[in-house]
Amino acid sequence: MKERRPTVHYLSLRNIPAFEKQNRRNPPSGQKQDYIIQTLVDIGYRVNYVSFSESRNNRFYRARKKKLSENVTFFLTPNVPGKYRESFAFRWFSHLYAARQIKKGDILLVYHTNGMRNDLLRRLADRKGMKFVYEVEELYEYVHETVDEIKAKDELEFLQCPDAYLFCTQTLCERVNLKHLPYAVVEGYYRYVRSDIPKWNDGKIHCVYGGIIDAVKGGAIRAVRAAKYLPKNYVVHLLGYGDIGSLKEEIEKNKSETVCDIAYEGLKNGQDYIKFISKCDIGLCLQDFSASYNAVSFPSKLVMYLSCGLRPIAPKIEQLTNSRLSENIVFYSEDTPQAIADAILQIDPDQTTGIREMMDRADKTFVADLRTLLS
């Protein structure tokens, strides 16, 4: 009789089109999660993708389930309005879901959000004989302009509960993995997914920034300011969500001094995002050199640019220069619009040789590391 492979119960925050009317929150981490899920399936696991995403609608929704493929099933926790929503969802998971879906020896993979109930998950893992793996993409307290060191210490203690980890960088591992537990590093979506569609083919060089638009990370604002130093045969596209009003004000303020085109293209997800990125030539990964979050996160947009065949530019910081992907990144050394523009101008958009081979190597390394971690 064939031995049953354990099921991986992947806890995160996500919604899917089938439940779009529930208006659940849908963070931008989905593409990397999809990559991890596909890798788990490729090495022989079934995956139950369990979303704790809350609804913006002030109403009750029961738990839902949808089979996404032969080996992947999506579960959406129930939603109740008010302050008890989170505890209600975890009670459903601990009692109803666990009783019906979790078998002894399964694997619990948890995406780090501050709302996770680690005490409850640790007890459940012990009771069911599960390996408990924490996926840590960043330390949230370091994303604020001013870091509260007490809260940062609490967040670090919050993460000392699993049996193993997935990290986005080796630097983050060194910060979090105080017990020297087994771990693997995955920086982002390593598979080459470039859409087989033509470029803009308008004689211009198209740069793209895709990500959060805010004052803390400031990548979109940097792109607008750098555009002043680009010639008229360049176009800067901005994709994302967040403080769109401030972005449009910045575009208007710099308009008279800018000869290249700047366009805010709205928010794009999934295949729409991949298709748009694939039409462009240069990816913009722009952030503050000195920001505290640099040491405890990795810009997944950088990996997605490479997956779509683009050469990206990025700040010359340790996490990026030590990346598996650094050979195809153009770095800038000063956080100024002129330095960013100079880096953009260094790139010949026709020279993309080697990107696909580099991504294939990174993918094979992660597949082997994940198989070892979970075996």
The mean-pLDDT minimum among 35-44, 200-209, 235-244, 281-290 falls in: 281-290
**pLDDT attached to residue 291:** 55
Q: Indicate the DSSP class of residue 94.
A: I
- 165: confidence class by pLDDT, cuts 50, 70, 90: very high
Would residue 271 be called left, alpha or beta, if left means φ above 0 and alpha means ψ between -120 and 50 degrees? Answer: alpha
185-243 confidence digits (pLDDT tens): 999 999 998 878 888 989 999 999 998 888 777 899 999 999 999 999 999 999 988 89
**pLDDT attached to residue 195:** 77
The H or E element containing residue 176 is helix 170-176
Q: Which residues contact 109 (CB under 8 A, 6 or more apart)?
A: 8, 9, 10, 11, 36, 133, 135, 166
**pLDDT attached to residue 139:** 81
Backbone angles phi, psi at 136, to 5 degrees: -115, 110
Place of tokens 């959060």: 212
Q: Tell me if 133 sits within 8 A of 374, measured CB to CB.
A: yes
**pLDDT attached to residue 140:** 72
70-127 confidence digits (pLDDT tens): 999 999 999 999 888 888 999 999 999 999 999 999 999 999 987 788 889 999 999 9
Give me the sheet containing 107-111, strands edge to edge. Answer: 64-69, 72-76, 46-51, 7-12, 107-111, 131-136, 164-167, 183-185
**pLDDT attached to residue 352:** 76
Question: Residue 293 pLDDT > 80, yes or no?
Answer: no
Question: Residue 28 pLDDT > 70, yes or no?
Answer: no
Question: Residue 289 pLDDT > 80, yes or no?
Answer: no
Per DSSP, what are the bridge partners of residue 283?
Answer: 208, 312
**pLDDT attached to residue 2:** 45
Question: What average pLDDT does the structure give for the chain?
Answer: 91
Q: How far is C-alpha 4 from the chain's CA centre?
A: 31
Per DSSP, what are the bridge partners of residue 263?
Answer: 237
3-class DSSP state for residue 368?
helix
C-alpha distance from residue 312 to each of 117, 239, 274 (Å):
37, 15, 15
Would residue 40 be called left, alpha or beta, if left means φ above 0 and alpha means ψ between -120 and 50 degrees? Answer: alpha
**pLDDT attached to residue 268:** 87
State which amino acid sits at residue 223: A
What's the pTM value of the predicted model, to 2 decimals?
Answer: 0.88
